[in-house]
Amino acid sequence: MADDISSGLDRRTILGGAAALLGAAAAPELPARAPKKEGGAPPFLWGTAGAAYQIEGGNVASDLWLLEHRAPQLFKDPSGDACDTYHRIEEDLDLVKMLGFNAHRLSLEWSRIEPEPGQFSTASLDYYRRVLLMCRDRGLVPLVTFSHWSLPRWFAERGAFRSREGVAPFADFCRRVAEHMADLIGLAATLNEANFRDQLDWSPSYARLKPLLERAQANVAAAANAKSFASPIYADPATQPFMIEAHTRAYAAIKEVRPDLPIGVTLALTDDQPAGDDSGIARKFAETCEPWLRVDADWIGVQTYTRALVGPTANLPPEAGAELTQAGYEFWPEALENVIRKVAPIAKKPIYVTENGIGTADDTRRVGYIRRAVTGVERCIAEGIDVRGYLHWSLLDNWEWNYGYSRQFGLVSVDRKTFKRSPKPSAFYLGKIARNGGLAKRR
Ligand code: BGC
């Protein structure tokens, strides 16, 4: 482990991080829109990522806020003020720029923008427009996810994506957002990990948790006096056909507003490896991934953290003795390279790594993980695979869904009382890679 770190890490980057930060070249000047391929190769995007609900704080009109405050309790901690990013976004974007990145992935909180059906908040739309202007002013290409899991409460009460009824509201929301700010978006993603629900069916822990999740949803529905309460990341029945339709309609709606905007979809992808001769790996790919690689999209967002050993009908636990991360995943940085190699020839579209990272309290393991993951990405590029960006999950230690604040995926820690941000050595390490245009130090 120690070797892993010392071989890849420039000691000065860690110890002299702040100095490097201030003295280094400014982030490259990039237009807010993602550059087109004509007129030269587009610059590779090196960036950080975050999602509104996990960092903004106080998203009281969201489905998750309601779930957080009803028994049985699914969450280790309530999200509360989260990282207070809603009020501190400027500081965060300054940090992203100073660290040396040229891109940032953010998401919009649908429940702020449309707190009641059809009632759009101009103030909230303006807020996100200002955020995009802040990105532009800092030379950061904004990759905007229109919906990263949290939903307006009213949409959950109407069944979310359990039926075709969910399609039009999502497409309308996307159109409205596009009309307000598409001119400032670099890349758009409709849904975060659109296939997440499909993947859950292969997760053994989901099978165990399902009764609890169902009970929580039923309680919330009763408390909200609603017929049902749906949440695409929890106990919903399979939603794939309706989510594909929602994505497709949203894609068309955004394109109508801004035809040249590259729109993609991001997918949860593990590096699947057969656990034996009877592995269901092919069926898993057919169920959880292939349909999403066929949807209307200009690019695919790969979100990979680890490998999965696939048994006949479900993933198996990591092998005994495997190094585990906080999330219980195996430490397996090569997963990213393997997933890109598998998906790219089938997707036949540009790939952006929209999430990759590790939950750990030991930042030296994050540095080691980044070095090996980025090395794999560079190998793919060297072989001609069209990978156009690496956006690390995440900028901040944030609210990790059911696990509350107990997992640290951030390049930057956040004091839970003062909200003070403190970049970790890994932030300077990846920032330096970004500045140099890769590990190979091409400058
Ligand atoms: C999600 C993020 C989450 C990350 C780490 C991804 O599946 O998109 O929201 O924080 O995993 O758990």
d(CA 135, CA 289): 32
Asked if 419 and 434 count as a contact pair (C-beta separation under 8 A), the reply is no
Confidence of residue 442 (pLDDT cuts 50, 70, 90): very low
Pocket lining: 409 vs ligand 1, CB cutoff 6 Å: yes
Ligand 1 centroid distance, CA of 357 (Å): 9
Q: Does any ligand 1 atom lie closer than 6 A to the CB of residue 192?
A: yes
Q: Is 51 close to ligand 1, i.e. is its CB under 6 Å away?
A: yes
Q: What is the pLDDT of residue 402?
A: 92
Q: Is the CB of 193 under 6 A from ligand 1?
A: yes
Q: Looking at ligand 1, which atom is closest to the CA of residue 327?
A: 12
What average pLDDT score do residues 390-397 get?
Answer: 98
Q: How far is the CA of 247 from the centre of ligand 1 (A)?
A: 20
Q: Is the pLDDT of residue 208 over 50?
A: yes
Ligand 1, pocket-test mutation among 197, 355, 396, most atoms within 8 A of CB: 355
Residue 207 above 90 pLDDT? no
pLDDT tens, residue by residue, 105-137: 999 999 999 999 999 999 999 999 999 999 999
Mutate to test the pocket of ligand 1, among 151, 400, 402 (most ligand atoms within 8 A of CB): 400
Whether residue 18 has pLDDT greater than 80: no
Closest Cα to atom 10 of ligand 1: 400
User: Residue 235 — very low, low, confident or very high, per pLDDT cuts 50/70/90?
Assistant: low
17 pLDDT exceeds 70? no
Per-residue pLDDT tens for 340-381?
Answer: 999 999 999 999 999 999 999 999 999 999 999 999 999 999
Lowest mean pLDDT among 33-42, 101-110, 323-332: 33-42
The pLDDT, as a whole number, for residue 365 is 98
Lowest mean pLDDT among 2-11, 22-31, 244-253: 2-11
The per-residue b/e assignment along 11-31, b for 16 or more CB within 10 angstroms, e otherwise, is eebbeebeebbeebeebeebe
CA 94 to chain centroid, in Å, comes to 20
| Closest CA to ligand 1's atom 12 | 400
φ, ψ at 294 (rounded to 5°)? -100, -5
Is 393 near ligand 1, meaning CB less than 6 Å away? Answer: yes
Percent with pLDDT over 90 in the chain: 80
**In testing the pocket of ligand 1, which one of 401, 403, 405 has its CB within 8 Å of the most ligand atoms?**
401
Q: Ligand 1 centroid to 355 CA: how many Å? A: 8
- Residues 67/69/71/72 CA torsion (nearest 10 deg): 50
Q: Looking at the CA of residue 193, tell me the nearest atom of ligand 1.
A: 8
148: CA distance to ligand 1 center in Å?
9
Rounded to the nearest integer, the mean pLDDT of the chain is 90
Task: Give pLDDT tens digits for 308-327.
Answer: 999 999 999 999 999 999 99
Q: Which one is predicted more confidently, 15 or 394?
A: 394
Return the axis-axis angle of helices 167-181 and 240-257, rounded to nearest 10°. Answer: 30
Residue 36: what pLDDT? 46
Which tokens in the block code for residue 296?
């209307």
Nearest-angstrom CA–CA distance, 151 and 246: 14
Q: Give the type of residue at 241.
A: P
Ligand 1 centroid–CA 26 distance in Å is 29
Mean pLDDT to the nearest integer, 172-201 = 96
pLDDT at position 305 over 60:
yes
Distance of CA 423 to the CA centre of its chain: 20
Residue written as token pair 């593990």: 270
User: 287: helix, coil or strand?
Assistant: helix
pLDDT recorded at residue 224:
84
Tokens of 356: 């990759």
Of the given ranges (15-19, 40-44, 279-283, 397-401), which has the lowest mean pLDDT? 15-19
Please answer whether residues 179 and 129 qualify as being in contact, where contact means their C-beta atoms are separated by less than 8 angstroms.
no
* Nearest-angstrom CA–CA distance, 310 and 199: 12
Q: Which residues fall within 8 angstroms of residue 361, CB to CB, at 6 or more apart?
A: 326, 408
- pLDDT for 95: 98
Averaged pLDDT for residues 69-93: 96
What distance in Å separates the CA atoms of residue 442 and residue 414, rounded to the nearest whole number? 33
Give me ligand 1 centre to Cα 32, in Å.
25
Confidence of residue 210 (pLDDT cuts 50, 70, 90): confident
C-beta of 202 in contact with ligand 1 (< 6 A): no
Nearest residue (by CA) to ligand 1, atom 9, is 51
Task: List the Cα angle 273/234/266 in 5-degree steps.
Answer: 55
Spatial neighbors of 50 by CB under 8 A, at least 6 apart, are 85, 92, 104, 105, 106, 107, 394, 395, 396, 398
Q: Is-contact 332 271, C-beta < 8 A?
A: yes
pLDDT for 225 equals: 86
Chain position carrying tokens 């953010």: 106
C-alpha 403 to ligand 1 mean position (Å): 11
Q: How far apart are CA 419 and CA 426, in angstroms?
A: 19
pLDDT-derived band at 1 (thresholds 50, 70, 90) equals very low
**Alpha helices (runs of H) in 150-228, residue ranges in sequence order:** 153-157, 167-181, 196-200, 204-223
Using the atom order of ligand 1, give the atom closest to the CA of residue 409.
5
Q: What is the DSSP letter of 184?
A: G
pLDDT of residue 317: 94
Percentage of the chain beyond pLDDT 70 is 89
Beta strands 263-268; 187-191: pairing state: parallel
- Is residue 31 over pLDDT 60? no
Compute the C-alpha angle 63/180/55, nearest 5°: 40
Does the C-beta of 268 come closer than 6 Å to ligand 1? yes
Query: 398, 82 in Cβ contact below 8 A?
Result: yes
Q: How far is the CA of 339 from the centre of ligand 1 (A)?
A: 17
Sign of CA dihedral 331, 356, 8, 309: positive
Closest C-alpha to ligand 1, atom 3: 400
Distance, CA 278 to ligand 1 centroid (Å)?
30
- Amino acid (one-letter) located at 390: Y
- Compute the distance from residue 259 Cα to the ligand 1 centre, in Å: 29
